[in-house]
Each structure stands twice: as structure tokens, then as C-alpha cells.
Structure 1
Amino acid sequence: MTGIIMNKTAVATLVTGLVALSQASASPLIFSEYVEGSSNNKALEITNISDQSVDLEALNAQIEIYNNGNATPNNEQDLSGILEPGASLVLTANQADEAFKPKGSLPLNLLFNGDDALTLMINGDVIDSIGQIGFDPGSAWSSNGVATKDRTLRRINNAGNTNPQGEYDPSVYFESFAKDTADGLGCDGLKACDDSSTPPTGPEFGQCGDDATFISQVQGNGSASPLAGQTVVIEAIVTGSFNQDNQLGGYFVQEEDADHDLDLNTSEALFVFDNQNAVQVGQKVRIKADVKEHFDLTELTAVSDLALCDSGNSVTAVTLAMPLADDVDLETLENMQLNFSAPLTVTGNYFFGRYGQMILSSQRLFQPTQRYLPGSSKAQAAAKENGRNRILLDDASSQQNPEDYIFLPGLTAENMPRSGDQLSSFQGILFYAFGSYQLQSTGSIMLQPAEARPDAPAKPKKGNLRIASLNVLNYFNGDGNGGGFPTARGAHTPEDLQRQQAKLISAIQGLKADVIGLMEIENDGFGADSAIQQLVGALNSAAADGENWQFAKPDADQVGSDAIAVGLIYRSDRVELTSIPQLLTSYPFDAATSKHRQPLIATFQQLESKNTAQLRKKIAGLNSTMAKKADNSFVVAVNHFKSKGSSCENITLPDGSNDVTDPNGQGNCNGMRSLAAETLSEWVNQQYAGKSAILLGDFNAYAMEDPIQKMAENGFDSLFSTDNYSFIFDGQSGELDHLLVNETLAGRVKTADIWHINADEAPTLDYNYRFKPESKLNDWYRDNAFRSSDHDPAYVDIKGGGPLHWIWAALLAGLIVRRRFDRK
């Protein structure tokens, strides 16, 4: 049904009718097919669903594209020609395979990806759209197995989406087909264009109690159903119903206990994709429907008959323990009721707010290379164990950023799930979606905190100094005068910035540190409108009497060329800089390589009273050895190495190798990080020989990985054990933020710790307005330290040099000199 006529005829009377049609509530055109496939295999199909011919040029028909969350169109394509009723126009990328260019297709000038929004316009009005304008979904919009990336989508209804700014659920409009499916282009409908067959009617429905197909026969012993594409009649018990708005769009059924098939090596439960029939948990139902493999989930769909049978029947849940035993195959438990024999622990909650998901395990999971050397047998065993010791808990909803969660009603900022929380018991259903097994809870769950949120650390003891490392999560301040939003990173509005700043001030005040190395601050210099100047100004405005904050400025306009930089702030009422701070700019920190943020290094001296200063001078005069031992200065080097997710494929290391993904689980750019670690530690040793020195910051390497080992080889050891963590990624905890000290400073260390205010907390509690329902923007926000960043701050208290320290040193120095004099 291509049906497009390229030669225009006299259509004066037709145009008048079409203009009236375009103003009606029903649109004459829709996106009927969408192809986002391999490479340049991109295509759009537009179908005339009206009963009149449509002159595309007369209606000013066009398509607009909005790339990567943009709020304004990046490009547009005008449409021309006449579409007859029911006819389809296919637009195909020039470089697409020939299979995507059916007869009569035209060039597509808009090369889109799965995260780009598209609108179909008539006379300036949106009559249909794909995606959400002004929102970046990551890689794609996806719901119920329908996604806008690596898929072919075919229309299931004729209702145009005329609200392109609203949340977008592709499953409402499209059925999904495998990537690079092209056989439906040029005709409307879900079937291939040359498919004229009609599906078989299937078996007789019969009555409750009649013979029916066992669910185990539908599931089969493999990953796909042996009955896929056939119509079956089953009889089973409803174990979970999720067919309300924004839910899964169906319900689960399981074979009743009395009707177990003898084959115990396959699942005895199914998901029924059906939002037309209201069923309740515990009901016995007889269903006639089609068997389908929906993204590797065996399900029933297209329900043609349903009857409610007798009640009072039961099913028995399967009991599991985490970690799963090696012989447990979750495929054989697909869609079945499960319970767990021991409490489960929340080990990851990053997507809780946005998707209602948490990763559950028997205990907190650690990154294998946090505890074991990369590539070692222990690291490999830990990775395997972690894989069998995690499962995803989902909220059975297709809605993003919901106001409520089916299993955790009444959430507040104070009882939001934290990593480490425990579920004392759990019963739910095992579902498969988006490439992983998920637990769908059939009721509320009870989360018990493993421990209370940590209090702020106590003040350093008298005479001691505190050094800290703090990631400020892209602290960008626009133009510094209330404008320049949204920023390249960080705050999207001035209100965002104020919320972010309030949380950071709480975190900094709670740390009670004297010197703080910062990561991820905007790299906009040190002027009056700079981010670091605004942060220091806000700190001083909120400071207690006597506190005075300043920042360490190197002899440069800014720190390197990256969008973000490291920074160094300090209390000038407690310490003073002894020289101009330095930047390490040699390879691999040079501008040409531009892989790491340039380290910022400064030397500090504890402030002294006049009497203490005089004592120090006397010591220096009495005995130079004792004066050196009594030196209370220290060197701080602030760092932020290249991340594990960055691309270093085009980097050639000095040994000639390419820095691609490390095969031992250390991520991308491990070679660059190792080289940076070696360069940094050697440089500090040379420049500050004999000085107390600390290397701190986000090294993007876990405790046992190569970069940390390189620095240890050069005399810089971690202050923390491998059981510590400062960051959680994909449900696994580990320490990316390190405090590494040389032997001279190690002798002065009194205590060190990581303040767990961020990594355990759900991003729902952070400052920004993204991924939260509007009604909860204020309810779920607090101006406290919790989730002020995604990394936990670390701190160390070192022995300073108070008056008593100097008096004791003076006495010792005097005693040594006197003994030498007496010997003479």
C-alpha cells in the first residue's frame, strides 16, 4: 500500500477539505512504523489513516527531530506528495540496507537514535510524536519490552500522541519486532507486507475442568516455548494482578498444586498480557490465548476467551536462598511465586526513584577488585559469586518517576531505601524483562535499616588537623550572577544550584575539616563569578565565629582544560599556605593527552601563636634534627583520574599497547590511570622529599587495582582496609576515593574514616529536579548532607603541632644540646 503519487493534480476542492480535516481532533496521519537498527538502518513510515486523500505539501506536513533531550528542534524535513486513504509513505536513510527501501520510498534526511524525539506536524501542529521533547532517557524510551533503540516498531492503534512534552511510553503505541526487521515497511499493520495468512483459531475453549494444556508444556525445557505462535487453553490460579494503569498490563497464573505436571525441570507459571479482563489473586481462570516469546519472556497474549472457575485452590511458592546454588536455573522458575529463606539486603538503589527498582542480595556486595588482585582466582570467584547473589526488585510499573511505589507506600525523605537495609522476609513473582530477571512484589515489604544514618564525625582533638576528600557532584554556578542555566553539567536552574549548595555546605560543615580536596567543581577559573569563589563565599556566610575559608590558587587561570577540575579549600584560621600551589602538567596530565584532571598540589603549615613560633625558631637554633621532626607542615595533592567508563581506545601507552577495556575487570583506561598513579607518586616524592604528603581524591580505581598498587610501590599506602567503600556501582560497593600517605605522614595519623552520607542513599534525595515527580520535589528534599554527592567523603586526622608539642620538642632539643656540651 505504498500509494504515493509524486505528480500533483488539480486538487483545489480537495485542499479545502483537507485543511478542515487537519483542524479536526482526529489526525489523518500517524507514524505507523519506526526502525532504529544497525548502523544507518533508520526508517520512518507515515500512514494516511483517514478516508480522504492527503496532500502533504498543501498541509505543510513535516517531521521535526529533537536530539539528546533538546527542547527545541535540531532539524526538520518537509514532506510532499499525495497519500491515498490507507497508503503509507516510507522515508529511509540513504546509507540504509536495500531491504529498508521499499518501492516508492523517499530519502530520510533526519538520522535519529533511540534517545531522540520526533514529531509529525501539520500546519505547525503536532499530530503525532515519538519520545518526549526536552528529556533525555539515556539510550531509549522503553516500557513493557518495547524500546526505541535497536528495534523495529509497528503501530498497534491510530491514536496520535499529540503531547510530545509528556512522559512517553512506547508500548502504548507500538508492538516491537527484532532489530533490522524490514518486511513491514510500505504497508500498515503488524504483519509483514507479503503475509496474507490468518492465524489458526486454535482448540475449543470448553468449560472449567475440561482438559487443558499444562503450563509446563507451554514453557518447555528450553529458553523459548515449543508452542510459540500457537493458540492454547490453560487453567491455572492467578498469583499476581498488575493490569492497572502504568502497571505491567497483565497478570500471572500458576498451575495449582493438584495439577502439577510430572516434568519438574521447567516453569509452571505464565504471564498473561491482558489489561481488558479484571482478575484477582487466588481466582482460578480458564484462558484461551496465543503463546508468544516477548523479548525472551514466554507469555500469553491476545486472550480470546476467559472464564472464572471455582475458588479455594492454592499454589505453593518455591523457596530460594541467596546466593543461588549453581544448579538453580531461573529460566525454570520464570513467572512463578518465590519466597526467600533468609533476609535479603539492599545492595543497590540507584534506579529506585526513577524505575522503582532495587538490587537485593544476601549481604552487601563488594567489587571483586576492591578486595582481591585483578585477574586472581579470588577475584574471579568473587565475580561469579556476586553474579549468583543478586536479583532485581521491581515495582511492577511502567511509569517513570512515580509518586508512590506498590511495595513501599508512604515514602518520605527519612525512610527512603538505603543500601544496607534488609527485608526480613519476601514473597513475590519472578519476571523477565529488559534482559534480566526481576522480582515483582505481590504486597508491601518491610525494610529494616541495618544501622542508622551516620552522625557527623566528632571534631579533631586539640592540636590535630583534619584533611578530607569531597566530590561535589558537578558544582556549576552558571555565569555566577544567577544566569547561564541550564549548565553543561550539574544544576539546571538557579533553584537547583541553591538546593545543591545547601547540601554541600551541610556536608562540609559536618566534616569539620581544615583542608578539603574537591572533585568535580566547574573549571571556570578563580574570579569573582567562579564556582569555587561562590562555594567559599557561601561557606563563609554560613561559618561559625572565627572560621574563615579560602581556596588555594595556583599560578594559572584555571586547572587544566576539562569541564570539571579539582579544587582545594582550607580554613585560613587554622592553616596557611607556605608557597604557591602547583599543577602537575606533564604527561599523562598534559593538555594534549587531556585524559585526567590535572592534580593540584599545595603545602600547608599549621598556624602558630607568636610564642609557638618563637619556640620553633629556638628549636631550629638548638638542634636541626629535632626541628625537622617537629615540622608540622604537610603536602596535599588533589586528584581525579579518568573514569572506568571513558573511552581510551585511541590511546597508545608508552609500551605500545592500546588502552582498551581491561580483561581483569578494571574497566576502561586502566593503563592511563596506572601511568598517572606512577607519574604522580614519583613526582611528589621528588618535589617534596622528606615532607609529610598525602595523595587524595577520586582515583577511579578500587583498592586492589593497578593504580593503587603503583602508588603503594612508590611509598604511598592507603589508610583504609579493603572492607571500606565510598561508591556503589551496579549494586557493588568499593572505594574509589582514597587517602594515600607516605611514611612521614603515616607517623602522624591519628584516625581516618569514610563518612557514609552519599553512596548508600538513593539519588531520589539529591538536589536536582530530574527523575522526580513534581509533587515530591520538596517532600523528598532536605538541606542536609545526605546525597549531597554520589561519592562518600573521606577524612584523616593528623598530629599537628600545638604549643605543648613545640614546648616538648624544645625541651628535648635543649636536653640533647646540653648532653653534647657536657660530654665536651
Structure 2
Amino acid sequence: MSPTLPNALLSGLLLAASTTLAVAATAPCGSPSTLIADVQGASATSPLAGRTVEIEAVVTADFSGADGFMGFFVQQDDARRQHRAGVSEGLFIYAPRHAARAGDLLRLAGTVEERYGQTQLALSDMPTVCATGRTVTPASVTLPVSNEAALAAREGMLVSLPQTLTVNDTHELGRYGSLLLGHGRLRIPTAVAAPGRDAAQLAAANALNRLVLDDGSSQQNPAVVPYPAPALSTANPVRTGNTVSGVRGVLEKRYGTWRLQPVPGDAPPRFTATNPRHAAPARTAGTDVRVAAFNVLNYFNGNGQGGGFNAPDNRGARNAAEFDRQEAKLLAALRALDADVIGLMEVENNGYGPHSAVQRLAALIGPDWRAVDPGMPRLGTDAIAVALLYNQRAVKPLGMPATTVLDMRNRQPLAQTFQLIGNMSQTFTVVVNHLKSKSCADADGADRDQGDGQGCWNTTRSRAAQALADWLGTSPTGVADAGTLVIGDLNSYASEDPVTLLARLGYEDIVARFAGRDAYTYVFDGQAGYLDYALADAALAPRIRAVSIWHVNADEPVAFAYAQAYRNAAQQERYYAPDAWRASDHDPVLVDLSWREAAPDAGRLEASPGNGIGVTEPDGGGGSVGLAALLGIMLAACATLAAPARQTRQSFR
């Protein structure tokens, strides 16, 4: 009778047997085996799916740890590579009870499966170590690829990317430890191309120019995010637009996305801050007034007295601690704008009383700041609203505040005419807007996604743009001669119908004119474009001295936002700073206006049937300045010379 082993010792031996590579019930090393190329095949799924096979291959990377993928990757040794066109020679081995060591040549038996969009081998027997210290030659991959098949041909293989790549998205960096890379910066198709065929072509090109750099972990909210080395923090950020080189790892398709998993122990990729943080743009010389537009990402102050954050319609901070963090970042950003008038979007729609969100922000920016009060309990029926704040040392309201109901989907705009302190002739109207989002909930009929790149609710946004222009044509503030600046989040990119419609109706996209074709205020799905606008009518356009965008939010990891959810105390400290960076998800737009002289190259704006609003040079090259316009410019210049010096602005930097 065999002696009985103690239970603890028996358990230990069984555990060791299940986790240590040892000789197993497979054929001897060097015996005929199935090639990985035959397992992968040339089609989307394996021709051997469901069958049991034996392979011999070299371990390239082990991800069998508790936070890994319960397996490891192998690749055909160089001597037996087949080099068949379009056929991969790498494979993921699902082995939840077995570890592996990179460089080992293993004899493996298992069942061929399709999981998460890729082929894998589910290990059925103990692997056999045939040799150690082996290496394989990485395959070279460059972006963009010609088609998805070019990536499928390297599935499960060790690859290197010889290019310097660009970080296109950091949205999942804190949550999943991953970055989206591409060759150059990716653009929202309808930001730079016409909706329809042109946008579709760019979307298809973008799809072939993206690859996720993952962290080799299945853990959510990892304790340490490895990018950039040694770890992500507010003191060591990585921004969209930065570049990276030395990218190497195992290529796989997991959760429907092509990913590169780093090989444990390899040198980390090298990040370069080619898109560094910059202070807010300084005012252009000669600026008389600066107007800013800023989507503040659901600034909700609860009941205004430290509570009420659990209200059903609350979209912002979940508690007082989060609110304090949010507010500190927003105030840092708002004060840095150095603006005289600020149009806000996504402010809690809780009125204009002493405990309202808009009055709180105005008071906290500085003692001279005021909020425009349209004289109603709430601005529309949505949980969020637009708002206008102004510095009374720089400007004063003229006429009356005005709003209108565009429809039940778009937020109500808010308009106010302002006059520069010390000069009665220098007036301008600002109207802040927030049109319907692209979210497809409840979209029906013509408002459904038409597949042209404009997303859902494009028809509703276009109707709102027409209604807005019609309303502004009535001089709703009671001041008829002031030029108009339309600002805000139009939830439309630069080539989409609402923006081109407003151009035809006399409101030029001055972000495009001054910031250029590649301007952006927002990053979505790794693509950059601008949703936030400054549109000027013909009366105000000559006064625009500069338009700039402060990239304080869109390029920053969402991990740096104020939220505390899913983060332990160490992560909350590592990722948060009470500064302006990632105060919101949209970048603010800044417009510098001057009445001292016509803005350089402004000229006369006139309707152009094919291109909306065009610029005609004032020297006669494209037409002459009208007599009335010339007289207006001369009168404004005289008024400027006769006006007393402007009062010193109070700085809130």
C-alpha cells in the first residue's frame, strides 16, 4: 500500500504540475507537426477550426499572468517559415494553467479556435520544451496598410514598426492602458472633406492608418500605465499629437481592434513631446476686446450650497469633492483665457439667482465679472444651457439680452450686444449657441445617420442654423448696427450642412480663415476636427484681428479630468492637478477684435454662390470697397482717435 501524502504536499505537487512546463503526452520534438501557416490559412477563419493539432514554435511573449490574457504567443521558427503571401505564422496559445518563457521552442497540442476575432490554439496537453534561447525575426509593418488583410497576414506575429508614429487618441489610456497610433494626425472626414463620397474616402483611408498600442494587460484602470515610461502622471503626460518611435510587439486582433502588445522586458517605446503644452495664446497686438467660446463639460453646482449633486438630471460632478476638483480646473482655464466676453456651453440650467451655476462662475472668475441674465427662470427646458459672462471693466451690455426657441432639440441661443468702455461707437453682438449632438438616440427619418459622415440629427441642426440666421436678422437685442459674432458648439464639422448654410447666409467661419484647414477643438475616435466656432457677419469680419484655439483639453488624456470614479487614492493623486489641463473635453476658441484699423487682409465680404462667403481684396483686385463701408471705416477711425484711453484691464491670470 502506498504511503499517503499530506494534503498540503499533494496540493503543492498538483499545482506545480499544472504550472510548470514539462515533458507531456505529445510526439517527440522534431516529429512531423502542423505548420502555423496551415493553422492560420489565407481566409478570415482557420481552415482547421475545431480540429486538434500539434505544432512546434518559439514563444515570443508571455501574457499568462493574473492581469494578462491567460496565454502566450508563439511564432514559427525562422528555419520553417513558409512566407506565404497573406498568411500569418504567429498564434496565440490559450493556456490558463501554464506559463511560458520567451525564447523557448515548444511542442504544443491543442484545439484550433476562433476567439475575439482571431485564431488561437486552446492548449490540451502539457507543452514540451524542445530548446531554449531561440529568437525569431520580427516582421516589418508600416502604416497606413494597403488593406486589412495586410494586418491579418501578421496576426499573432512579432512585428516592428520602423516609422515615427503619431499619437492620435489617449481616451483609453487611463482606463485600459492603450493609445491609438497612426502615421500622422488623423482628421474627422467632414472636417476637411465634403459629406458623401469625399468624406467616405477619407474615412476608409483613416481606417487603414490606425493601430492600438496596448499594455499587455486585461486589467481595467491599471495601477501603473506604462506610457510614457516610466509611468503616466500629470508630471509625465502624453498628448495627442506627440510622436513615438521604437514601437515593437505582437500584433493581434482583440475586441474587434488591431492591437500591438508589448513584449515583456523589451525597451519601452520612445515618446517625443512634438505637441507640447503651451500657455493660452496671448492677445494680438492692437486688440481692443477678446471673445472666447468654451464648452465646459457639464458644470453642475447642485443646489449651489454644497449639495444636490444626486439630482436625477445632474450630468456633472457626482459629489462635492468631485465638484471642487472640477471647479478648480475650470477656473484655472477660464482665467487664463484673458477674455472680456466668454460664451459658455454645458452649464447647469438652474437659473440666474445667487446660487445658480452661471452666477457662481462669474463671481469666482473675478469681482468685475457679470453674467448676462435674460430675465427668465431657465433658458429652455434642457438640463444644460448656454451662458454669457463679461468683464464690466472692459465692456458693458447695450440694448437687451435676447433668446429664442429654435426647436425642442437644440438649446436656446443667448445674444447680447456689448459696447467697449470709453467708446460708444465700438459695439458688437455676441450670440452663443449649442446645437443638437450627433447622438443617435430617438433619431428618425431624415435625422437618422445618412451615411454621408454627418451623423444623426443633421437635418435638425440645419433647420436650427436657418432659424438662427432668420432670428439674428431681426436685431433681437434692439441694436441694429452692431456687427455679429456667432460662437459656440454647433456639433457640426467644418464641411457639414449647418456650417456651410450659415456661410451662405452671411456668417463666415473665421476659425477656418485664421486657424486653417486642420484646426481642431475636439478629438473623437482618434480623429481631430472642430465643433466649436466663431462666425462673423460682414459688419464685424473686418474687425477680427486673430482667431486662435488653446489646445488645453482635446489633446490631454481623459485620465487627467476631475472624475474620481474607478480610481484608488494613489491614482486620483497621480492623475489630478488643479490646473487648466483637461478641464473639459473641448478646446476654447479665442477671437481678438480691434476697431483701431481694419484687420490685415480682411477686405470686403460678399456672397459667393459656390463657396459661401468669399474675401475680396480692398485694393481693387477683386472689386472695390463700397462707399457706405468706406465711410463706416473712416468714422470708426475718427471715433477711435477722439476716444479717451481705455481703462486698464484687470488681470486674472
CA contact (8 A) 1:368 1:379 kept: yes
CA contact (8 A) 2:595 2:637 kept: no
Q: CA deviation at 1:682?
A: 2.5
2:411 counterpart residue number: 597
Distance 1:482 1:774 in 2: 22
SS for the counterpart of 1:743 is coil
2:466 counterpart residue number: 678
Do the aligned partners of residues 302 and 328 (structure 1) sit closer, same or farther apart at CA in structure 2, a change above 3 Å counting? closer
2:496 aligned to which of 705, 708, 723? 705
Do the aligned partners of residues 243 and 530 (structure 1) sit closer, same or farther apart at CA in structure 2, a change above 3 Å counting? same
Rg bigger for which structure?
Answer: 1
1:154 counterpart residue number: none
Q: CA deviation at 1:659?
A: 1.6
1:768 counterpart residue number: 563
2:28 is aligned with 1:207:
yes
Q: Which amino acid aligns with 2:105?
A: K
Distance 1:771 1:765 in 2: 13
Distance 2:236 2:199 in 1: 34
- RMSD of equivalent CA atoms: 2.2
Deviations 1:620-658 (A, max 9, x none): xxxxxxxxxxx31110110000011143534xxxxxx63
2:282 counterpart residue number: 458
2:387 is aligned with 1:561:
no
CA contact (8 A) 2:176 2:221 kept: yes
CA contact (8 A) 2:239 2:276 kept: no
2:485 counterpart residue number: 694
2:51 counterpart residue number: 230
1:754 aligned to which of 519, 528, 549? 549
**Aligned runs of 1:221-260 on 2, under 5 Å?**
221-260=42-81
Structure 1 stretches lacking a partner, 5+ long: 1-202, 541-546, 617-630, 651-656, 814-824
Larger CA deviation: 315-324 vs 558-567:
315-324
CA contact (8 A) 1:457 1:510 kept: no
Q: CA deviation at 1:538?
A: 1.8
2:332 is aligned with 1:506:
yes
1:331 counterpart residue number: 152
CA contact (8 A) 1:647 1:669 kept: no
**Aligned runs of 1:380-419 on 2, under 5 Å?**
380-406=200-226, 408-419=229-240
Do the aligned partners of residues 262 and 419 (structure 1) sit closer, same or farther apart at CA in structure 2, a change above 3 Å counting? closer
2:575 is aligned with 1:780:
yes
Q: CA deviation at 1:723?
A: 1.1
Do the aligned partners of residues 292 and 715 (structure 1) sit closer, same or farther apart at CA in structure 2, a change above 3 Å counting? same
SS for the counterpart of 2:350 is coil
Q: CA deviation at 1:672?
A: 0.5
Distance 1:431 1:271 in 2: 9
**What's the TM-score, normalizing by structure 2?**
0.84
Distance 2:244 2:453 in 1: 30
Q: CA deviation at 1:379?
A: 2.4
1:447 aligned to which of 266, 271, 280? 271
Q: Which amino acid aligns with 2:306?
A: G
Q: CA deviation at 1:463?
A: 5.6
Larger CA deviation: 271-280 vs 737-746:
271-280
Do the aligned partners of residues 658 and 327 (structure 1) sit closer, same or farther apart at CA in structure 2, a change above 3 Å counting? closer
Deviations 1:687-744 (A, max 9, x none): 2654210110000000111000010001101112221000000000001001000111
2:120 aligned to which of 274, 277, 299? 299
Do the aligned partners of residues 326 and 560 (structure 1) sit closer, same or farther apart at CA in structure 2, a change above 3 Å counting? same
CA contact (8 A) 1:402 1:772 kept: no
Distance 2:552 2:440 in 1: 26
Do the aligned partners of residues 668 and 807 (structure 1) sit closer, same or farther apart at CA in structure 2, a change above 3 Å counting? closer
2:95 is aligned with 1:274:
yes
Identity of aligned residues (%): 37
Q: CA deviation at 1:673?
A: 0.6
Q: CA deviation at 1:319?
A: 0.9
Distance 2:427 2:144 in 1: 50
Q: CA deviation at 1:519?
A: 0.4
Distance 1:327 1:252 in 2: 21
CA contact (8 A) 2:62 2:101 kept: yes
Q: CA deviation at 1:521?
A: 0.4
Distance 2:328 2:640 in 1: 47
CA contact (8 A) 1:392 1:439 kept: yes
Q: CA deviation at 1:753?
A: 0.4
2:502 is aligned with 1:714:
no
Q: CA deviation at 1:456?
A: 1.8
CA contact (8 A) 1:764 1:771 kept: no
Distance 2:558 2:39 in 1: 41
Q: Which amino acid aligns with 1:760?
A: D
Distance 1:775 1:498 in 2: 18
Q: Which amino acid aligns with 1:323?
A: P
1:92 counterpart residue number: none
2:585 aligned to which of 772, 777, 790? 790
**How many pairs align?**
571
Distance 2:177 2:273 in 1: 18
Structure 2 stretches lacking a partner, 5+ long: 1-23, 598-633, 643-653
Q: Which amino acid aligns with 2:413?
A: P
SS for the counterpart of 2:74 is strand
**What's the TM-score, normalizing by structure 1?**
0.67
